[in-house]
Chains A and B, each alone.
Chain A
Amino acid sequence: MLTLQCPYCGVQCDETELSPGGEAHLTRFGPGSDDTEFEQYLFLRENPRGVHFERWRHAYGCGKWFHAARCTMTLEVFGTYPAQVTEPPADLIEKIREKRPGWRWRDLA
């Protein structure tokens, strides 16, 4: 059972306080998009053995959505940050680079 720190209220949350929201930083494709784009947006997901960016909601706490950078193998949490961004904060990416040289996730590295 994971623990993640909510970046809004600062609480170190137990997983039971959270609801998972799958992969972070998806770009929404609406009307006018082609089938490939829409499929990518709605269904195709990263499934890394390593660093992953995920969405979580502090559902039984402050109710806010946030993102977590977490290793799916070791369960190491590199950091959490508010969901109101389109990509991870630069300092977090730098931290992951230091800890995991050669790391890649989508077009991030």
Chain B
Amino acid sequence: MSTRLATGGRLIDRGARVEFTFNGKRLSGYAGDTLASAMLGAGQTLMGRSFKYHRPRGVVASGAEEPNALMGIGTDGHFEPNQRATTQELFPGLTARSQNHWPSLEFDVGGINKHLSRFLPAGFYYKMFIHPRPFWKHVYEPFIRQSAGLGAAPRDRDADTYEHYYAHVDVLIAGGGIAGLAAALAAGRAGAKVLLVEQAGHWGGRAPVDGAVIDGKPAEAWIKDAVQTLEDMDNVDLRLRCMAAGVYDHGYALCYERLTDHLADKAGPRHRLWRVRAGRIVTATGAIERPLSFAGNDIPGVMLASAVRDYVVNWAVSPGDRTVVVTNNDDAYRTAIALKKAGLEVPAVIDARAAPEGPLVEEVKSLGVKVLSGKAIAKVKGRKFVTGVAIAAQAGEGAVLEEIACDAVAVSGGWSPVVHLWSHCGGKLTWDEAQAAFRPNPDKGPTGADGAVFVIPAGAANGEMATSSVLSDAHAAGAKAAGADAGDAPTAEVTAEGPIAPVWMMPQGAKPELRAKAWLDYQNDVKVSDVQLAAREGFESVEHAKRYTTLGMATDQGKLSNINGLATLAHALGEDIPQVGTTTFRPPYTPISMGSIAGEARGALFQPLRRSPLHGWHEANGADFEPVGHWRRPYTFKRGDESREQSVAREINNTRQGLGLLDASTLGKIIVKGPDAGRFMDMLYTNMMSTLAPGKCRYGLMCSENGFLMDDGVVARLDEDTFLCHTTSGGADRVHAHMEEWLQTEWWDWKVYTANLTEQYAQIAVVGPKARKVLEKLGGMDLSAETLPFMGWATGTLAGIPARVFRISFSGELSFEVAVAAGQGLALWEALMEAGQEFGVMPYGTEALHVMRAEKGFIMIGDETEGTVIPQDLGLSWAISKKKDDYIGKRGQEREFLASPDRWKLVGLQTLDGSVLPEGAYAVAEGTNANGQRNTQGRVTSTYHSPTLDRGIAMGLVKDGPDRMGEVLTFPRVDGTGVEARIVSPVFFDPEGEKQNV
């Protein structure tokens, strides 16, 4: 049983008791505790259950690498699952829940899964997806669903706020241990702008725990001085609780700062995502201890040796009264020393090496601890907690030599440098035989824009494990990052250590029943036997074996398991470890919150909203909005308890019979100006635009170089040198960019200038038989048919407002589009509404606009076109100049498949029963295609109920359509029935255009 020691604990404040709850139970710890240390101190060793077999699990580590002690923290809108108890600092009122169990942590029904473990081998999911379908559906899927998911998803909307910060620095240093501090001192003294980030809540890492002596001082004192020196430098910024999460191209890095996770008072942003651009990035991220693979290595009470020492020294927590240390290296002896110094029993150090020797080994022996060399743990005894260990020869198969009673096991399999940040952007690794670890290959680092390596690993992260070499390496890294000469590095006392013996299985010849209880990946429940099975089944690539076994795929991304797993795979394949290689390291280093990624971009701030100059009026007058690009446009203006359909029908009937107003301000308005403007317009549009007379308008089509129709709109020639191009509402920015691309990159010697004036004008369509009357009533311009004929424009003043009036129609009615300065839009609109009262004026929305254009057979970009349609398909050959040698898309349209007569072409479709055709429905043809699907011969592109004709109308593309007038096609509905429609002209209403020409 774990407990709190009476004295010690360098990080806790015994004067400040902190109350918290775990699974509803009230517990207490001290300020400075992590949730894990507080729970251990309160005697709570059982912290959760594993994902697949629901095995009881306790805490293994003391930092970010923890795979087991995952908690749901907080309540309601502040709840978040899968938080590591080892990195969660304690605060008053903290609420934690354990995961993956039902009905309780102590008694879990899913624990039965462990008895099914031989039915849940590596590749279980893949195999079961293939095997008999009924079995999958009725047996496996319900079982998996019940046990699936790591923790519980939050049910409430996130009540916290998040923010993004931006920083540009010369040197970003990841990690505030002694390496990070030494690097920061070197870079800071050289004058570089430095950002030093540390993921934990305190500086100095584990050097004080290990008893390092630096520059003649205890590590604790040296760290305090170093931090003080750095804080006094104006060019250095220090951030605690801020993790360097990822490294990306050209010195870009993301840092994740946790602002209130450690506080009871949650005011202010919870997390801050730093988007950093750094000249150089120093990774002083330390190293992570590896467990050893022996049977029962996941039983609560088995912990990393370094973690045991952290809990004793940092938080005065004893993991057990009697702790057996098992190791293949000298470092774990420090744990035995720390335990003994704390007055705890160490029944034995079990060392896999045949003849361990050196000062640490001698010191442990002198403390009266028995050292069993050449020995292994055959198995750990106990179920929910450790009761003892069975000892065997490391060289054998696990025959038990003796048993030792204990309640904790401290295990060390050696240290792996944290190479994640080095590797994120392509840094390569090299296998260090002497340390049995991968470390950065200095010749193959990620390079920046200047062609130089921009990530500089430092200290333990660079494979330098001794304190003295950590300091000199980090000092040199900091100086190099700042582009300075390295001066004198801090120095440390050296403790000689004997060589590590690589141990990947304990004992090395462990029998199958032991291997099936030796865990590699605690979080995803992957055992040595699973990886060996994967190798036998042919998953030889480490990336395949990873996915097949799920090794390293849990939220800890295999921080503890990766090296042991790939060593196991290498052995099973009879290959060397470097030959097998590692899986890819991907950001983030540890999971970061979704909220921090979103930052402020949520709710109303998710994306910018564009408002027309009349938006406020629309809001105040019952507009039912729809999104059009970033704009919000009124779909319809509902009155009383009208349905949307009724409202749209009323607007159409009123416009066709009297007077309607449309806010057309969102239409793109681009000026093309210059001596070569006409020449340029002839290239942009399929029509001949250079012959358009000033004062006139022309409908134009714009194609991509592929030949496909990309935008349409009315062009007005303002003067000899100037054209005003109207584009679709969603297309203005794209069309403007298209113009600029051609002007800047192909015809850069042409004298043409473009400007996107979309937001400079309000534009109001005044539509209907009474349109001229209401404008005449406003007064100021002669808008008679003689003065301003169809497809003409004129300037003047209306109701005292300077205006440009275009006589164009997208509805088939008499129609004027009036453009005024954006700031005058509302005044004009209100004047029109008032003057129009006697004509029964009503505003109408985009749906009425769409239906009226469809009644007239006018195409809509995005309905009749979808990126593979050319103007010729749409009966628009009249808008393609035959006289021009060239326009953008002309050569593309000459390609065989586009010039083919077999293409589907635009027609009108009229259902025999008057119903509305389903959107996007296909017309079926005889026979089936190679996939056994019905052949098709056309599809619906626009379909509406026409209030004018009181029946369904549609447009569609049909093979040989224009030659098949009167034929009836069948369009299957989703429910399996079909609807018949006759091919007709796409112009359903006023085919002679009499209404618009008055």
Contact = CB atoms under 8 A, between A and B. Distances in A.
Interface in B672-695: none
A47 interface: no
Interface string B598-625: 0000000000000000000000000000
Contacts of A84: 744-745, 748
10 smallest beta-carbon distances between A and B, as pairs: A76-B451, A84-B748, A74-B447, A65-B744, A1-B252, A77-B449, A3-B250, A30-B886, A83-B745, A30-B891
A55 interface: yes
B447 A33 contact: no
B890 interface: yes
Interface in A6-45: 14-15, 19, 21, 28-33, 35, 38, 42
Interface in B737-756: 737, 740-741, 744-746, 748
B316 to A, nearest CB: 45
A106 interface: no
A37 B706 CA distance: 14
A35 B449 contact: no
A31 B891 contact: yes
Contacts of A83: 744-745, 748
A75 B891 contact: no
Contact of B890 (A31, A35, A57): A31
Size class of the contact patch on chain A: 20 to 34
B892 interface: yes
Contacts of A29: 891
B176 to A, nearest CB: 25
A55 B706 contact: no
B744 A64 contact: yes
A17 B730 CA distance: 21
Contact of A14 (B277, B448, B748): B277
Contacts of A3: 250-252, 277, 449
B737 to A, nearest CB: 7
B265 interface: no
A50 to B, nearest CB: 13
A47 B139 CA distance: 50
Contacts of A4: 449
B895 A2 contact: no
A92 interface: no
A4 B252 CA distance: 13
A49 interface: no
B536 to A, nearest CB: 36
B900 to A, nearest CB: 14
A15 B746 CA distance: 24
B450 interface: yes
B248 interface: yes
B894 A31 contact: yes
A57 to B, nearest CB: 7
A59 B744 contact: no
Nearest to B889: A30
B443 interface: no
Contacts of B705: 42
A6 B746 CA distance: 19
Nearest to B746: A28
Contact of B745 (A1, A65, A75): A65
Given A31-B891, A63-B740, A75-B250, A2 B449 contact: yes
Contact of A33 (B251, B450, B451, B891): B891
A3 B252 CA distance: 9
Interface string B725-740: 0000000000001001
Interface string A70-109: 0100111100000110000000000000010000000000
Contact of A99 (B451, B892, B894): B451
Contacts of B886: 30-31
A1 B895 CA distance: 38
Contacts of A35: 895
A59 B744 CA distance: 13
B725 to A, nearest CB: 17
A64 B814 CA distance: 42
A78 B740 CA distance: 26
B274 to A, nearest CB: 14
Interface string B438-482: 000000000111110000000000000000000000000000000
Contacts of A1: 248-250, 252
Nearest to B254: A1
B662 to A, nearest CB: 31
A53 to B, nearest CB: 13
A76 B886 CA distance: 39
B214 to A, nearest CB: 37
A76 B891 contact: no
Nearest to A3: B250
A32 B448 CA distance: 45
A15 B249 CA distance: 10
A72 B250 CA distance: 12
A15 to B, nearest CB: 8
B249 A76 contact: no
A1 B277 CA distance: 10
Contact of B891 (A38, A63, A65): A38
Contacts of B641: none
Contacts of B737: 19, 57, 59
A83 B741 CA distance: 10
A55 B885 CA distance: 28
A30 B409 CA distance: 77
Contacts of B447: 74-76
A59 B737 CA distance: 9
A4 to B, nearest CB: 8
Given A75-B449, A76-B449, A2 B249 contact: yes
A84 B748 CA distance: 6
Given A30-B891, A31-B886, A42-B892, A75 B448 contact: yes
A38 B707 CA distance: 12
Nearest to A38: B891
8 contacts: A3-B449, A14-B277, A29-B891, A32-B891, A65-B740, A75-B250, A75-B447, A76-B450
Nearest to B896: A35
Contacts of B740: 57, 63, 65
Contacts of A28: 746
Nearest to B425: A75
A51 to B, nearest CB: 12
A4 B748 CA distance: 22
Nearest to A39: B895
A55 B249 contact: no
Contacts of A59: 737
Contacts of B250: 1-3, 75
Given A71-B451, A77-B449, A84-B745, 14 more contacts: A2-B249, A3-B250, A3-B277, A3-B449, A4-B449, A28-B746, A31-B885, A38-B895, A57-B737, A75-B447, A76-B448, A76-B449, A83-B748, A84-B748
A71 to B, nearest CB: 8
A22 to B, nearest CB: 11
B891 A21 contact: no
Given A30-B886, A42-B706, A42-B892, A75 B249 contact: yes
A65 B741 contact: yes
Most buried by A among B248, B252, B449: B449
A55 B277 contact: no
B741 A57 contact: yes
Nearest to A99: B451
Contacts of A33: 891
Nearest to A28: B746
A40 to B, nearest CB: 12
B741 A21 contact: yes
Contacts of A76: 447-451
A74 B451 contact: yes
Contacts of B450: 76-77
A96 B891 CA distance: 36
A99 B251 CA distance: 21
Contacts of A77: 449-450
Contacts of B451: 71, 74, 76, 99
A4 B250 CA distance: 10
